[in-house]
Amino acid sequence: MMARKIIISAVALLVLTPAARADADAPWGDPVRAVNALLAKGSGLTFKETGTVGMHYRDAGSTPTGTFRYNGGYIIRTKGAANLSRSGVVASKMTRTLEFDSGWRNLREQAAQGDPWAFDMNAQQQAHYKISVKGYSYASGPLYKPKVPAGKTWARLGKLPGADAAYGDQVINVFEPGTLKALMARSKRGDMLTFADDAHGKRHRVPFYNGNATFAQLFALSPTFRKVLGGRLLPEYRNIRIFWSMTFTKEGLPIQVTSGWERLDKSFPQQNGNLSTWYGFGPHAAIAPPPATRVATPNRQPLGDDRIDAFMRPFG
């Protein structure tokens, strides 16, 4: 039977295959129950992410530094691991790079002229690393090198939860059972089944769910979303609508989460963004703080190293 394409949300396009009658009638696991079992077991997980951000700076007055002009976008590529406990994600680590489109030359020129926003974005075209464990988060790479003393290679970002390294690009945390339950209640289950790959490349035939909420609603629902926004949602961003799609194995384990949004206000630096995260599960990963002799407090926090950072300050 020929596959059909349908759009499942404003930000995700999946190729769906009509379900065989036996598959459609088969019982599917409860994702909330399955996630609770993962937490109780103390499972480890791996994740990989791919996403895009569209950026449109129209004039100097709309930028955080007053000089930076950039019209283009970039691709996010991340891979990492995390450990779970009954309280959720307790430790995580990741490697992340950005790939800019044709606007990169302008970005490089602005960085060379000393614009700090352009410098921070341009630096992320090389891999950077983040570790969140034992109540603190640490980062390393070209973005942080000029912000710590010579001889230090890691910047301590402060007291942050173990989930910090795994979220900031992806903001939908399906490993918060209360949040997952609320998102499921706001989602529509697809009538079709689709093949989905997990972080290990294994393919599953699964149902999908999609839904949406405003930033304000997600802020009220999700402790992770509140954390990545620094505990404050600025009023001008409350009504941005975030869309998501979620797929799970037959047993209810998360396979893929896609989330994204779009703004029509041309003065805002991020016009749109989407990110897909694929999950795989296994034993706990080795996640430890970097050697204390290599760690320092940065002299300046970067102006942005996650796609959600743009929403932590007013623009315009």
The predicted structure's pLDDT at residue 266? 59
pLDDT in tens, 132-141: 999 999 999 9
Per-residue pLDDT band at 22 (split at 50, 70, 90): very low
The predicted structure's pLDDT at residue 19? 37
**Burial of 136 per CB tally in 10 Å (0-12, 13-18, 19+):** middle
* CA 8 to mean position of chain CA atoms: 19
Stronger pLDDT, 41 or 109, i.e. the higher one: 41
- In this predicted structure, the answer to whether residue 300 has a pLDDT above a threshold of 90 is no
- In this predicted structure, the answer to whether residue 225 has a pLDDT above a threshold of 50 is yes
Of 312, 311, 299, nearest to 116 by C-alpha is 299
List beta partners, residue 215.
none
Cβ atoms within 10 A of the Cβ of 191, count? 12
Return the amino acid letter for 17. Answer: T
Mean model confidence pLDDT for the chain: 83
Dist CA 81 CA 258 (whole Å)? 18
Of 311, 296, 288, nearest to 81 by C-alpha is 288
Per-residue pLDDT band at 111 (split at 50, 70, 90): confident
- In this predicted structure, the answer to whether residue 268 has a pLDDT above a threshold of 70 is no
Torsion, Cα 251 252 256 257, to 10 degrees, reads 180
* The token pair that represents 59 in the structure block: 């004039």
- In this predicted structure, the answer to whether residue 216 has a pLDDT above a threshold of 60 is yes
DSSP state of 160: -
Contact 263, 270 (CB under 8 A): yes
- In this predicted structure, the answer to whether residue 214 has a pLDDT above a threshold of 80 is yes
Dist CA 102 CA 11 (whole Å)? 23
Q: How far apart are the first and last CA of the chain?
A: 52
Contact 8, 257 (CB under 8 A): no
- In this predicted structure, the answer to whether residue 67 has a pLDDT above a threshold of 70 is no
- Tell me the percentage of the chain whose pLDDT exceeds 90: 55
The predicted structure's pLDDT at residue 53? 87
- H/E segment holding residue 276: strand 270-282
The predicted structure's pLDDT at residue 264? 63
Stronger pLDDT, 261 or 40, i.e. the higher one: 40
Dist CA 257 CA 254 (whole Å)? 8
The predicted structure's pLDDT at residue 227? 92
- H/E segment holding residue 119: helix 116-123
The whole-number average pLDDT for the span 142-153 is 93
The whole-number average pLDDT for the span 181-193 is 84
- In this predicted structure, the answer to whether residue 48 has a pLDDT above a threshold of 80 is yes
* DSSP, residue by residue, 47-108: EEEEEEEEEE--SGGGSSSSS---EEEEEEEEEEEEEEETTEEEEEEEEEEEEE-TTHHHHH
- In this predicted structure, the answer to whether residue 61 has a pLDDT above a threshold of 50 is no
The whole-number average pLDDT for the span 198-217 is 87
Q: List the single range of 39-43, 185-189, 201-205 with lowest mean pLDDT.
A: 201-205
The predicted structure's pLDDT at residue 70? 60
DSSP state of 33: H
Dist CA 314 CA 297 (whole Å)? 25
